[in-house]
């Protein structure tokens, strides 16, 4: 992690839907190569905030700079500098692994040569030679998630956004997935991740906890546990999220 280089900076970022303030004056910074856990209860406003950060939802007011680009004026540049993966929408099941690589490589703006070389590297690394020309739909879930993460960072983005990437995945694969996250962060890619597994919150350099549209706490897991006099991040989370008033 490089604390001298800030890749996400928000200042009072707010999103309103009518009278409802989904995200309320969110202010925080994320560093290069940091693993940043973005936590919150269902309905706390995480998805709303994330949609603004990746440039697909316009804020009501406030400022933000993502990977060096303005969140209002340079959303297309933001999209090229980030990777995104979610549990629900990951890859095209009726395309093969190689076809998915080609497709997403193209979407992320790589040229044909870059796609071939990055794709071969990816297939080597995951040991998927025998599966490369098989449909993604035939892979076990754990493999899909690992593949989908690898494709999200195929273009070596500055930031990768992961929305509950490990839901329903078996415990060993879940850890292999985190090995990949660590490695990406070591290579300087900032990882912005949401999860409902509180043990995974402990793997983050810092985490924020959102309650009712507001960031209620932001620090390293160690400091948060100290501050709230808690044994685990699970306890910290329960303490903060229990105070939620929002009627979902």
Partner 1 sequence: MKAVVLENIVKTYKTKKSTVTAVDDVSFSVEEGELFGLIGPDGAGKTSIFRILTTLLLADKGSAKVLGLDVVDDYKKIRDIVGYMPGKFSLYTDLTVEENLEFFATIFNTTIKENYDLVADIYKQLEPFKTRRAGKLSGGMKQKLALSCALIHKPKILFLDEPTTGVDPVSRKEFWEMLKRLKAQGISILVSTPYMDEAKLCDRIALIQNGKIMKIDTPQNIVNQFGKNLYAVHSEKMFNLLNDLRDYKKTESCYAFGENHHLSMKDEEYNLDEIKSYLEEKGHRRATIKKIDPGIEDCFMQLMKK
Residues 193-212 interacting with partner 1 (rule: CB under 8 A): 196-199, 202-203
Least separation, in Å, of the C-beta of 39 and partner 1? 9
Buried b (16+ CB within 10 A) or exposed e, 54-65: bbebebeebebb
Least separation, in Å, of the C-beta of 91 and partner 1? 15
141 lines the binding site for partner 1 (CB under 8 A): yes
* H/E element, 103: helix 97-107
142 lines the binding site for partner 1 (CB under 8 A): yes
Least separation, in Å, of the C-beta of 233 and partner 1? 7
Q: What one-character DSSP code corresponds to residue 156?
A: -
Least separation, in Å, of the C-beta of 224 and partner 1? 11
- Given candidates 16, 51, 80, 175, which one binds partner 1 under the rule CB under 8 A? 175
Please provide the DSSP assignment of 171-235 as one string.
HHHHHHHHHHHHHHHHTT-EEEEE-S-HHHHTTSSEEEEEETTEEEEEE-HHHHHHHTT-SSHHH
Q: How many CB atoms lie within 10 A of CB 133?
A: 11
Pairwise CA distance, residues 182 & 189, whole Å: 10
Compare residues 78 and 85 and give the one whose CB is closer to partner 1.
85
The one segment of 7-15, 98-106, 135-143, 152-160 that binds partner 1 by CB under 8 A: 135-143
Strand partners, 125: none
Residues 147-166 interacting with partner 1 (rule: CB under 8 A): 164
Pairwise CA distance, residues 190 & 34, whole Å: 5
Compare residues 23 and 66 and give the one whose CB is closer to partner 1.
23
42 lines the binding site for partner 1 (CB under 8 A): yes
Using CB under 8 A, list all residues that contact partner 1: 40-43, 87, 138, 140-142, 164, 167-173, 175, 178-179, 182, 186, 196-199, 202-203, 221-222, 232-234, 237-238, 241-242, 244, 247-248
């Amino acid at each position: 992690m490089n604390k001298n280089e800030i890749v996400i900076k928000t200042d009072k970022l707010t999103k309103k839907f009518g009278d409802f303030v989904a995200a309320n004056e969110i202010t925080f910074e994320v560093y290069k190569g940091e693993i940043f856990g973005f936590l919150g209860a269902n309905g706390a406003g995480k998805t709303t905030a994330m949609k603004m950060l990746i440039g697909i939802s316009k804020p009501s007011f406030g400022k933000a700079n993502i990977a060096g680009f303005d969140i209002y004026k340079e959303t297309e540049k933001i999209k090229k500098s980030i990777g995104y993966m979610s549990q629900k929408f990951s890859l095209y099941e009726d395309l093969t692994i190689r076809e998915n690589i080609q497709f997403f490589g193209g979407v992320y703006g790589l040229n044909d040569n870059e796609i071939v070389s990055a794709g071969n590297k990816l297939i080597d690394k995951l040991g998927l030679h025998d599966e490369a020309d098989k449909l993604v739909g035939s892979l076990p879930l754990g493999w899909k998630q690992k593949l989908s993460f690898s494709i999200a960072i195929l273009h070596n983005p500055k930031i990768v956004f992961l929305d509950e990437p490990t839901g329903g995945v078996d415990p060993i694969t879940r850890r292999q997935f985190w090995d990949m996250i660590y490695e990406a962060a070591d290579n300087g890619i900032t990882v912005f991740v949401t999860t409902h597994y509180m043990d995974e919150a402990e793997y983050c350099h810092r985490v924020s906890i959102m309650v009712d549209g507001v960031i209620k706490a932001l620090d390293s897991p160690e400091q948060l546990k100290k501050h709230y006099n808690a044994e685990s991040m699970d306890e910290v989370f329960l303490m903060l999220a229990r105070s939620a008033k929002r009627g979902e």
